[in-house]
Amino acid sequence: MSKENSYSVIGKPRRRVDGADKVTGQTCFADDIMLPRMLHCKLLRSHVPHALIRSIDTRKAERHPGVKLVLTGRDFPNEYGILPVSQDEQPLCREKVRFVGDPVAAVIARDEFVAEEALELIRVEYEPLDTISDPVEALKQEPARLHDYSEEGNIHKRLSYEFGDVEESLANSAHVFEDIFFFEGNTHLPLEQHAAVGVPEAEGRVTLWSSTQCPHYVHRAVAKALDLPMAHVRVIATPNGGGFGGKTDPFNHEIVVARAALMLGRPIKICLNREEVFYCHRGRHPVLMKFRTGVDVNGALTAMHLQTLLDGGAYGSYGVASAFYTAVLQPVTYHLPRYAFDACRVFTNKPPCGPKRGHGTVQPRFGQEVQLDKIADRLKIDPAELRLNMVEKPGALTANYLKIGSIGLAECINRVTERSGWKDKYRKLPSGRGVGLACSSYLTGAGNSIYWNAMPHSGVQLKLDRSGRVTVFCGATEIGQGSDDVLVATVAEILGIDPLDIRCVTGDTDLTPVDLGSYSSRVTLMMGNAAIQAAERARDLIAQAAAQKFGADAEVIEFAGGRVFNTGRPEQEMPFQEAVVCAEEIYGSLGTTGSYTPAPPPGKYKGGGVGPSPAYSYTAAVVEVEIDTASGWITVPRVYIAHDLGRTMNPVLARGQVEGSVYMGLGEALMEESAFRRLPARLSGALVHREPSMLEYKSPTSTDMPEVITDLIEYPDDNGPFGAKEAGQGPLLPVIPALANAVYDAVGVRIDEVPITAEKILQALDSKARGGSGRVGPAKFPELEWPEPYRVPPPWEGGDGNAVNKPQRKRAAKMHDMDRFRKVTAS
Amino acid sequence: MNKVTTLKRSQQQNAHIGCQVNREPVQVSVAPGKTLLEMLREDLQLTGTKHGCELGECGACAVLVDGEPILSCLYLALEAEGCSIDTVEGMALDGRLHPLQEAFADLGGAQCGYCTPAILLTCKALLDKQPDPDRDQIREALSGNLCRCTGYQQIFESVEEAILRLDHSEQGTDLKSVPGSGG
Amino acid sequence: MMRLPRFHYYRPRDIREAALVLAGEENAMVIAGGTDLLPNMKRRQQTPRTLVALRHLDELKRVTNGSGLVIGAGVTLTDLVQDRGIKSAYRGLWQAAAQVATPHLRNMGTLGGNICLDTRCNYYDQNHEWRKAIDFCMKKDGAICWVSTGSKTCLATSSTDTAPALVSLGAEVELETAHGQRTIPLHELYRDDGIHYLTRSNEEILTRIILPDGAGTRSVYWKLRRRGSFDFPVLSVAAAIRFGAGGAVDEARIVLGAVASQPVLCDSASEFLNDRSLTDEVIEEAAALCARAAKPVKNTDFSPHWRKRAVARLAAYALQELRGDDMRATREKIARQAL
Ligand SMILES: Cc1cc2nc3c(=O)[nH]c(=O)nc-3n(C[C@H](O)[C@H](O)[C@H](O)COP(=O)(O)OP(=O)(O)OC[C@H]3O[C@@H](n4cnc5c(N)ncnc54)[C@H](O)[C@@H]3O)c2cc1C
Ligand code: SF4
Ligand code: FES
Ligand code: FES
């Protein structure tokens, strides 16, 4: 259990440092930036799903009164993309469009209205290509290929790994369960629509303000796409009006306004409308999955073979990482002696998928936890017992070489089962009412950066002076999760001062040390550790100075309550500010830095870089449902959730993260869906997002949200600042399978597909009434040719983290040679 | 047509609008066809009012017109003539936050803060009419404001806390009573 | 930011002036709350050259008692919901109004606008760019119906919540032009045609809604939608019954919403109920008749198949509530609010 909390700031409920700004309308989001002489930009987006661009005629638009500039793909020299292995995006499409919404031209004008009028005047001639709407079509032998660099046809990437002889274990298992699940795609839907402002600076430099979660990655992309030295580009992340992973990629509109600002010498703003936000997407991949799982007579796992098929949409985005994440975290929750996985991501003519809260792990977690429920049901074991019996041990190294620290999962399970009255409810409620349980784990920060380098993942700088004010600089980005608050609280704790005496400057690539960004739940841990280091260094300097003044040893100097004192002689004390003056007198201007680099992962095999994390969080949830059997109508009255976050930094914010995750999980479980539509083929080649609007993309309202009973469980992790792990993503994961399991408990049908809607429940009830399976879900997983797996023996089978074979990999076609292309178009 | 003496606004000329914004008289010249949302943000630089869809589908743009919460994205600026408009910028009085603002800042009612201005105003209108609403009434009053961050629970708690503070006209917060502060 | 197209704007001093402008200007439309018209204009589904504003006309905002009740077309849905008389005497109407859109939209939206609400379809209620991507349909700028490519008419769905309730209550509406006025039963205002869904001429202004005396009649409204707020109905059942002595049905009127381009009167079910007591069997039978009358098409949320199945269930709930059953728990689950 958690140690007694002896901190003065950490763990105390406190108004977040940016709270007052948020409630007064003072927080300046990207679209709130209004600058003198500012112009406005709108993008012309493709209305065809897949086509070659024959020609673009912008002459009429250029002549339209109020228009200052029209840009097309020719104005941009280079490709970009978030991962080094998939630099496949262009700021404006040059030769090809790949989905409805892909941008082909930009108009910069006096105001948005004029820019919009001018868009209508641009003529684009397209030569349509065949379209790919789903993985089955993508896997067909000769489809129109979206990208030349894909592994084969429209297969973007295939992965294959084996940690021990899974087939042997399955053959020797008491039971083997085989299940297929489907998880429909969905999107982040941040309330704030993406916006960016490009501002020209002297000598050909440019500043870009943007609602981005990752200013550092945007910095790299803008410099690359525009052929600018990174030193000439400054990216400032504005506070995000919600991100959830939807603002972690560099985006075409950001690069376009940076370019336009440089060309026109005036500030340029773009704010996307809601439909365009749906086209930015990078949301949850639709994933088809097949689990073959062996268990012993007690239901404990013996081996698992997981196969996943991801519908990636039109571009790479984080896709290769997403594919890994659909598999790598399975062994982190329960002890799994042997494990194998295959993952395949394909390209389709739809907006690109990417990282959404729980990146890639949400879909297989749904499958695994529902399958465990089926196993428990068949073996007549209580699902809570089944799980408690095989919770992974703290400090364990998993079959795939992930190093786990603290694990509070057993307590999480116990807490939610107690709170919910599980023992009196499971299989005991009247028909139509049910409870379901599920668990999960999640990363606290990816162990590796998205591009290979040996530099820190987070840097923090501290400036102190005679005013007593401390300013802390960090590249991290406030997206609502409270990263500014964690930063300030950490420094305040160590220096023993009031958080309100600290100013933080974040997310500015000119002013702040690099932090990789607000994704993969990395900020609290990585930035927190860097902040601790910077603050401890400052504290040491001040302690030295104070010690001199007191004529004491630096070791006896303590910091608390805004004062610095000698623990041995309490009468020797002074205000923090005076102590800083002493330090400034001795050392001159004061500044310290801190940084954090995760330890290298134990898995040394190729691909072993995705999955390692300094710490893993754990969650358990019980969901209650009520179902009207005549219509399938489903209601969720209550959700019980317990989350092991290591250490609570600020309970108000932590609970907000957990409840927000429950909310988003319920939305995905019940109603959210990024569905696409084709029209009758003989009449139309259209392939469109079915409902790119706030009204038809169903996000639960205040009336749809159940009561949530939250428990924060603290199992401090040695790697976390003060022991803290993440809280912003993990709690989403168990909600979805727990709901599916509750449906089974209530009415005895299995919905092996997300979202779980009234229609599907009714269909399953019908099937059951007719003596059928009482199941709705995918029937089969397509036959796929997998590459030879990397064989890595698990640690307990003599493995050392290396693969014992050298599988041949087909070399991916070389990425489009951009410079060559530029020369061709320019000539 | 010559019998009609009706006020007509042509689509070309700017319209001059006189109204009260945050209790102060305002004269503003706006392009015809602008919504109240556009007028507030673009012509009066009151960017505290947000937008998430501009089609009436999210609630982020809510402001009070004559005390009633309405969606400024579906309200013609022209029709604000003579009206009294309240935006989030006007909620604090004499540099002191409204108890709703205090409670939202303290209790997690604002996460990213993007839905917050509209929610605060909606709650203010509710409390102005009904000082002591129960959870269901708060839930119903806020059912036109989407929030993607909080799951609403801390928003409800913030409103309930504000009601208590309004009752006791208390300043300062006893954060020890914050739910979820246990571990 | 989604921007409105350009338009002329009139603020008439009274209904007569409004009617004159409407008749005199080419391609003019009235705007009341604007909660339907303005989104449609932003999406370029409707592009009137001239708007004639009604918001400030006090004569449209009155609720007056006569032998029944006369409600001005400009009364907002919030005002209607807050009217105690309506809540007690015309409960079905009250329940319908209380479930329209969201509280904010009800503060703006009017009863007249709700009655004249444009029909809806998820191939049509989309931005201009999206409609261009599928190629426009016949309701606006195109020639084909994407819901049913063989259809000669548009099948867009009548999505007004108050209309089914008003029709079940036997409401009449008064329409005024510069030259005169006429009063018709509300159901005659509608046509089963997604484009020409109203029999109202462009020059007519809906001024008043007239309800017969509500004494002795009980009414209810059940609405189905994905979320407890925001969403238009994917199906609704309005029912009004006058019970005779002994508790048998004297007169019943059941109307379905969101299953055609107009509110659908379930005559067979209504007639079946006459002189019968609302036993469980009678309710099931009547509910099944209702389901038969519904022909939802695939242009709203949820599948038509499921919506059709749900008709019987919702109709049964409506009749059970009219019988006096305590339906609050069921309501709470379906409507996600107490009504
Ligand atoms: C997100 C969202 C959700 C919604 N959900 C629902 C819902 O659940 N149920 C529902 O029923 N509606 C819903 N609506 C639609 C709308 O808000 C309501 O129908 C509202 O009552 C319309 O009234 P209004 O005064 O705003 O109409 P307006 O937009 O002003 O007018 C609507 C139409 O009626 C015409 N009109 C208005 N008044 C008159 C008159 N007196 N005489 C002749 N013609 C007239 C207009 O010319 C226009 O064609 C929703 C709207 C939005 C944006
Ligand atoms: S029903 Fe057909 S014609 Fe009517 S709006 Fe829909 S697609 Fe268009
Ligand atoms: S901006 Fe979404 S409702 Fe107005
Ligand atoms: S706090 Fe982010 S949308 Fe509500």
How confident is the model over A452-466, as pLDDT tens digits? 999 999 999 999 999
The residue count of chain B comes to 183
Of A227, A258, A280, which residue is a domain's last?
A280
Q: Which atom of ligand 3 lies closest to the CA of B74?
A: 4
Q: Note whether residue C293 is domain-resident.
A: yes
With H, G, I as helix, E, B as strand and everything else as coil, classify residue B69: strand
Using alpha carbons, list the distances in angstroms from residue A164 to A257, A336, A339, A610, C19. 51, 11, 7, 19, 82
Q: Is the peptide bond before A755 cis (omega within 30 degrees of 0)?
A: yes
Distance, CA of C80 to CA of C69 (rounded, Å): 12
> In this predicted structure, what is the pLDDT of residue A815?
45
**Tokens read off for B65:** 């017109």
Provide the residue range defining the domain that includes A222.
Answer: 33-129+190-243+247-280
- The tens place of each residue's pLDDT in chain C, 339 residues long, gives 999 999 999 999 999 999 999 999 999 999 999 999 999 999 999 999 999 999 999 999 999 988 899 999 999 999 999 999 999 999 999 999 999 999 999 999 999 999 999 999 999 999 999 999 999 999 999 999 999 999 999 999 999 999 999 999 999 999 999 999 999 999 999 999 999 999 999 999 999 999 999 889 999 999 999 999 999 999 999 999 999 988 899 999 999 999 999 999 999 999 999 999 999 999 999 999 999 999 999 999 999 999 999 999 999 999 999 999 999 999 999 999 888
> In this predicted structure, what is the pLDDT of residue B3?
43
Q: Note whether residue C240 is domain-resident.
A: yes
Most distant CA pair in chain B, distance: 75
Interval between CA A705 and ligand 4 midpoint (Å)? 15
Q: Note whether residue A411 is domain-resident.
A: yes
- Give the chain C residue whose CA is nearest to the CA of B66: C107
Q: Note whether residue C141 is domain-resident.
A: no
Does residue A366 sit in the same domain as residue A477? no
The single-letter DSSP state of residue A490 is H
Interval between CA B175 and ligand 4 midpoint (Å)? 22
With H, G, I as helix, E, B as strand and everything else as coil, classify residue A417: helix
Task: Sort out which chain A residues have CB atoms less than 8 A from B179's CB and list them.
Answer: 655
- Give the chain A residue whose CA is nearest to the CA of C147: A679
How confident is the model over A794-807, as pLDDT tens digits? 999 999 999 999 99
Within 13 Å, how many C-alpha atoms sit on residue C332's CB side?
10
Are C163 and C263 spatial neighbours (Cβ–Cβ below 8 Å)?
yes
How confident is the model over C238-259, as pLDDT tens digits? 999 999 988 899 999 999 999 9
**Tokens read off for C338:** 């107490």
CATH number at residue A166: 3.30.365.10
Distance, CA of A163 to CA of A794 (rounded, Å): 6
- Given CB atoms, is A229 within the 8 Å cutoff of chain C? no
Distance from CA of C6 to the nearest CA of B (A): 6
* Residues 6 or more apart in contact with residue A221 via CB below 8 angstroms: A80, A81, A82, A250, A254, A255
Distance, CA of A803 to CA of A792 (rounded, Å): 4
Q: Which atom of ligand 2 lies closest to the CA of C144?
A: 3
Q: Verify whether ligand 4 is closer than 6 Å to residue A480 (CB atom).
A: yes
- Given CB atoms, is A704 within the 8 Å cutoff of chain C? yes
pLDDT band at B6 (very low <50, low <70, confident <90, very high): low
Distance from CA of A603 to the nearest CA of B (A): 34
Task: Sort out which chain A residues have CB atoms less than 8 A from C318's CB and list them.
Answer: none
Q: Note whether residue A110 is domain-resident.
A: yes
Does residue A289 sit in the same domain as residue A424? yes
Select from A628, A680, A686 the Cβ nearest to the Cβ of C333: A628
Name which of A319, A247, A252, A236 is nearest A91 in CA terms: A252
**ipTM greater than 0.90, yes or no?**
yes
- DSSP H or E run through A157: strand A155-163
Q: Verify whether ligand 1 is closer than 6 Å to residue C53 (CB atom).
A: no
Q: Verify whether ligand 3 is closer than 6 Å to residue B144 (CB atom).
A: no
The 3 state secondary structure assigned to chain C is CCCCCCCEEEECCCHHHHHHHHHHCCCEEEECCCCCHHHHHHCCCCCCCEEEECCCCHHHCCEEECCCEEEECCCEHHHHHHCHHHHHHCHHHHHHHHCCCCHHHHHHCEHHHHHCCCCECCCCCCCHHHHHHHCCECCCCCCECCCCCCCCCCCCECCCCHHHHHHHCCCEEEEECCCCEEEEEHHHHECCCCCCCECCCCCCEEEEEEECCCCCEEEEEEEECCCCCCCCCCEEEEEEEEECHHHCEEEEEEEEECCCCCCEECHHHHHHHCCCCCCHHHHHHHHHHHHHHCCCCCCCCCCHHHHHHHHHHHHHHHHHHHHCCCCHHHHHHHHCCCC
Please give the model's pTM, rounded to 2 decimal places: 0.96
Are B38 and B15 spatial neighbours (Cβ–Cβ below 8 Å)?
no
Nearest-10 Cα torsion for A21, A22, A25, A28 = 80
Are A479 and A518 spatial neighbours (Cβ–Cβ below 8 Å)?
yes
Select from A191, A702, A710 the Cβ nearest to the Cβ of B60: A191
Distance, CA of A626 to CA of A604 (rounded, Å): 48
Are A387 and A334 spatial neighbours (Cβ–Cβ below 8 Å)?
yes
Using alpha carbons, list the distances in angstroms from residue A385 to A15, A296, A748, B6. 40, 14, 21, 77
What's the domain count of chain A?
A: 3
Distance, CA of A827 to CA of A557 (rounded, Å): 70
C21 and B6 in contact by Cβ < 8 A? yes
CATH number at residue C161: 3.30.465.10
Using alpha carbons, list the distances in angstroms from residue A108 to A202, A230, A258, B1. 21, 25, 12, 41
> In this predicted structure, what is the pLDDT of residue B172?
41
Name which of C52, C46, C35, C203 is nearest B9 in CA terms: C52
Of the residues C35, C104, C226, the best mutation for testing chain A's interface (the one with the most A CB atoms within 10 Å of its CB) is C226
Distance, CA of A192 to CA of C181 (rounded, Å): 48
Does residue A444 sit in the same domain as residue A472? no
* Residues 6 or more apart in contact with residue B163 via CB below 8 angstroms: B127, B131, B132, B133
How confident is the model over A609-618, as pLDDT tens digits? 999 999 999 9
Q: Which atom of ligand 2 lies closest to the CA of C151?
A: 2
Are A545 and A555 spatial neighbours (Cβ–Cβ below 8 Å)?
no
Interval between CA C73 and ligand 1 midpoint (Å)? 11
How confident is the model over A671-726, as pLDDT tens digits? 999 999 999 989 999 999 999 999 999 999 999 999 999 999 999 999 999 999 99
Size of interface B-C (CB pairs under 8 A): 120
Which residues are paired to A642 by β-bridges?
A: A620, A711
The residue count of chain A comes to 827
Task: Starting from the CA of residue C150, give the closest ligand.
Answer: 2
Does residue A441 sit in the same domain as residue A590? no
> In this predicted structure, what is the pLDDT of residue A141?
67
Most distant CA pair in chain A, distance: 90
Does residue A768 sit in the same domain as residue A646? yes
Are C330 and A635 spatial neighbours (Cβ–Cβ below 8 Å)?
no
Q: Verify whether ligand 1 is closer than 6 Å to residue C109 (CB atom).
A: yes
Interval between CA C28 and ligand 2 midpoint (Å)? 23
Distance from CA of B26 to the nearest CA of C (A): 20
Burial class from Cβ neighbours inside 10 Å (0-12, 13-18, 19+) for residue A522 reads buried
How confident is the model over B117-173, as pLDDT tens digits? 999 999 999 999 999 999 999 999 999 999 999 999 999 999 999 999 998 764 444
E strand intervals along A414-496: 433-443, 458-464, 470-474
Does residue A495 sit in the same domain as residue A523? yes
Domains of chain B: 14-90 (3.10.20.30), 99-174 (1.10.150.120)
**Tokens read off for A826:** 């320019």
Distance, CA of A452 to CA of A324 (rounded, Å): 17
Of A548, A578, A596, which residue is a domain's last?
A596
Q: Which atom of ligand 1 lies closest to the CA of C163?
A: 11
Between CA A51 and CA A55, with CA A54 as vertex, the angle to 5 degrees is 130
Q: Note whether residue C184 is domain-resident.
A: yes
Name which of A797, A661, A628, A820 is nearest A736 in CA terms: A661
* Residues 6 or more apart in contact with residue C58 via CB below 8 angstroms: none
Instruction: Residue A575: count other Cβ atoms within 10 Å of its Cβ.
Output: 14
- Return contacts of C148-155, CB within 8 angstroms, 24+ apart: C148/C297, C149/A680, C149/A683, C153/C193, C153/C194, C153/C195, C154/C119, C154/C121, C154/C193, C154/C194, C154/C195, C154/C261, C155/C121, C155/C194, C155/C261, C155/C297, C155/C299
pLDDT band at A820 (very low <50, low <70, confident <90, very high): very low
Provide the residue range defining the domain that includes C176.
Answer: 58-116+157-335
Mean pLDDT (chain B) is: 89
Map tokens 């299940």 to a residue: A179
Q: Note whether residue C33 is domain-resident.
A: no
Of A732, A748, A776, which residue is a domain's last?
A776
Instruction: Residue C269: count other Cβ atoms within 10 Å of its Cβ.
Output: 24
> In this predicted structure, what is the pLDDT of residue B7?
67
Does residue A724 sit in the same domain as residue A615? yes
- Given CB atoms, is A635 within the 8 Å cutoff of chain C? yes
Select from C5, C78, C228 the Cβ nearest to the Cβ of B143: C228
Within 13 Å, how many C-alpha atoms sit on residue A425's CB side?
22
* Statement: residue B5 has pLDDT above 90: no
Does residue A125 sit in the same domain as residue A261? yes
Helix orientation angle between A758-769 and A735-747, rounded to the nearest 10 degrees: 40
The values of phi and psi at residue A235, to 5°, are -115, 130
Does residue A360 sit in the same domain as residue A303? yes
How confident is the model over A555-566, as pLDDT tens digits? 999 999 999 999
Distance from CA of A683 to the nearest CA of C (A): 9
Does residue A440 sit in the same domain as residue A475? no
Interval between CA B16 and ligand 4 midpoint (Å)? 34
Does residue A582 sit in the same domain as residue A437? no
Distance, CA of A664 to CA of A743 (rounded, Å): 19
Name which of A166, A181, A175, A171 is nearest A340 in CA terms: A166
E strand intervals along A246-349: 268-271, 287-295, 301-311, 338-346
With H, G, I as helix, E, B as strand and everything else as coil, classify residue A694: coil
Q: Note whether residue A800 is domain-resident.
A: no
* Residues 6 or more apart in contact with residue B93 via CB below 8 angstroms: none
Q: Note whether residue C233 is domain-resident.
A: yes
Size of interface A-B (CB pairs under 8 A): 205
Distance, CA of A131 to CA of A153 (rounded, Å): 13
Distance, CA of C265 to CA of C255 (rounded, Å): 4
Distance, CA of B55 to CA of C41 (rounded, Å): 10
Within 13 Å, how many C-alpha atoms sit on residue A637's CB side?
13
Q: Note whether residue C134 is domain-resident.
A: no
Does residue A239 sit in the same domain as residue A293? no
Select from C149, C227, C330 the Cβ nearest to the Cβ of A701: C227
Name which of C226, C183, C238 is nearest C208 in CA terms: C183
What's the domain count of chain C?
A: 1
Q: Note whether residue A312 is domain-resident.
A: yes
Mean pLDDT (chain A) is: 95
